[in-house]
Amino acid sequence: MNPDNTEETIPHDLNKTPDALSKILRETKRREFNERIAQGVEIMRKKGTKEREIGAMLKKGYEDRKHGNQDPLGNELPGTILSEVTAQQIDWLWQKRIPLGKITILDGDPGMGKSLLAINIAACLSTGRPMPDGTPGKQGSVILIAPEDSAEDTIRPRMEAAGGDPSQVLLLNTVECFDEKRLGIYERPFSLSRDLVDLEEAIKQRKAILVVLDPLMAVLGRNIDSSRDQDVREVFTPLAQLAERTGCAILIIRHLNKGSSDNILYRGSGSIGIIAAARIGLLVAHDPDDEQKRVFATIKNNLSKIAPNLTYQVVENELGVPYIQWLGENHYNTSTLLRPGMNLSFERQEIFRVLKEASGPLDAKEIAERTGLKYEPLRLMLNRMCTLREIARPYRGKFTTLDHPSISNKSADTSDTSDTSDTNDTNDTKPASHTRI
C-alpha cells in the first residue's frame, strides 16, 4: 500500500466536511505508516539490532522528517475542530450523582459504609429498580474490584441483603498474565497502572454500566505514588478516556486523610489530582446530630446542579448481614460535615460527646471521669485540640465545644496555653476498632 496515494483509498463522502475528511485522511495515513514501521522493525530484529536502538532510530527518523516539513502523515493538523463535534447531553447512571462515561470519587473515613453504599448502588442497577432517592435507575451489569473483602462471606451476602442479582456482578480482583520467571500463565492482583486493557475488555464483554474500585489505594499499582500529581495523572487520564470510550461509569472509593483543611476537597487521601480527574465528588460522613446515621453528600459537581444530601444508616438483616437503609433528604452544610469530632478517633469523639452534653465548661479531671480516659494523656489531648481550634477554653483549665450555649455570647480564648501541650502525644490517633463497611 502506497501512503502517498492514500487519498485514493478513501471513499468520497459528500456528507463529510473538509475538516472531517482531513481528519479521516490523517488517521488512515497514520495507520498505514505504523504498518510500514512494523515491517521495518521485523527486518531490523532479524539483523540483530537491539530494541533500544530500533526505537531510537525510528524516533529520530520520524522527528527529522516532521521538523523538515516532510511530515509522513501529510500537512493536515492533528486534533478536532470543535464544529465537527456532535454535542451530547450528559447521561446519568444516578441522576446528578454518578454520570455514565465519567469518573466519580466517593470519599469517607473507614466505618462510614462506603463499600455497603457501593454495593447498594450496584444492587439497584443489577435489578433495574429505582435509585435510593427515587429517581429512575438503569439496568445492567457491574464490575466490582474489591480485593480487601471476601467474596464468600462479605460481598455476596451483602449484595443479596441489598436485594441485588449476583449474576449481574463480575468480581475482577485478579487478571491473568504470562510470568516470564515461572514460564506460565498465572493470576496476579488487578492494577490500574497495568491492567486497563483487561478492564476495558471486561466492560465490553459484560456490557457493564458501572465499575467499582474499592478502595483506590489497593488497586492503584505498586509503582504509583498516590501523592505525586504526575503519577496519578498517568493512571487517571487513560482511565477517564476508557470511561468515555465505553460509556461506563467509574466509581472509586477512597479514604480521607488525617488533615484538617477547611477545603473539603483536600481531605481525600493522595494527590489533589485524584479529585481533579473526577467530574463528581461524593462524601459520606457522620450525621452531626445522630452518631448512628450517615450523610451522603456531593462535594464536587462539574456537570450539573448539586443533588440534595441523603441520610442513611447501616442496619442488619436476620442473618446479621449489614445493609443500607435510606432515610430521606437532609440539609446539612457540606462544609461542616468534617468538623472536629465527627470523623475522629474514639477518644476524641468521647471528649466531644461529654463536652456537648455538659451544662457548661469542664476541667480535665471532670472530663476524665465522664469519659473513662486516663488523666495525663487526656490533658495533653485537650491542649492539642485547643491549639487546633477543635474545642474552646473559655476559662483557664476549662474546656467546652466551640458552639456550646454557655459561650455563645462570649469570645472563647483558644490561645490560652497555660497547660503545656505535647506535640508528641499520639494517644488520640489510635482509631476505634470497627468492622470495615
Rounded CA separation 135/121 (Å): 12
Cα 251 from Cα 211, distance rounded (Å): 6
Of 151, 147, 143, the residue nearest 196 (C-alpha):
143
Q: What is the DSSP letter of 162?
A: T
- What per-residue confidence (pLDDT) applies to 365? 92
Handedness of CA 74, 75, 80, 81 (dihedral sign): negative
Residues in the chain: 437
HSE on the CB side for 157, CA within 13 Å?
13
pLDDT, residue 419, reads 42
Q: What is the DSSP string of 307-361?
A: PPEEEEEEEE-TTS-EEEEEEEEE---GGGTT-TTSSS-HHHHHHHHHHHHSSS-
Q: What is the distance between the alpha carbons of residues 345 and 366, in angstroms, rounded to a whole number?
A: 20
Neighbours of 91 (CB within 10 A): 13
For the chain, the domains span 3-84, 92-336, 346-429
What's the distance, CA 268 to chain centroid? 9
- Domain 92-336, CATH class in plain words: alpha beta
The strands making up 103-108's β-sheet, listed across from edge to edge, are: 169-171, 141-145, 208-213, 249-255, 103-108, 280-287, 290-301, 309-316, 322-330
Query: Quick check: 298 and 306 in contact, CB under 8 A?
Result: yes
Per-residue confidence (pLDDT) for residue 16, from 0 to 100: 54
Give me 301's grid cell.
459537581
Alpha-carbon span 175 to 221, nearest angstrom: 13
Which residues of the chain have a pLDDT value below 50?
A: 1-14, 341-343, 409-437
pLDDT at 157: 97
pLDDT in tens, 266-308: 888 899 999 999 999 999 998 888 878 999 999 999 999 999 9
- pLDDT value of position 317: 94
C-alpha cell at 159: 449484595
**CB within 8 Å of 271: residues ≥ 6 apart:** 226, 227, 228, 229, 231, 232
Q: How many CB atoms lie within 10 A of CB 276?
A: 16
Nearest to 418 by CA among 383, 368, 375, 366: 383
Residue 251's pLDDT is what? 98
Q: How far is CA 233 from CA 253, 257, 274, 358, 436, in A?
A: 17, 19, 8, 49, 28
pLDDT at residue 417 in the model: 41
H or E element at residue 242:
helix 229-246
Measured on CA atoms in the order 312, 316, 317, 322, is the torsion positive or negative? positive
Q: CATH topology of 92-336 equal to that of 346-429?
A: no
Q: Does domain 346-429 have CATH number 1.10.10.10?
A: yes
Model confidence pLDDT, tens digit, residues 374-430: 888 888 889 888 887 778 888 888 999 887 887 754 444 444 444 433 333 334 433
pTM of the model: 0.67
**Is the distance from CB of 140 to CB of 168 less than 8 angstroms?**
yes
Question: 92-94 and 98-99: which strand pairing?
Answer: antiparallel
The per-residue pLDDT for 67 is 66
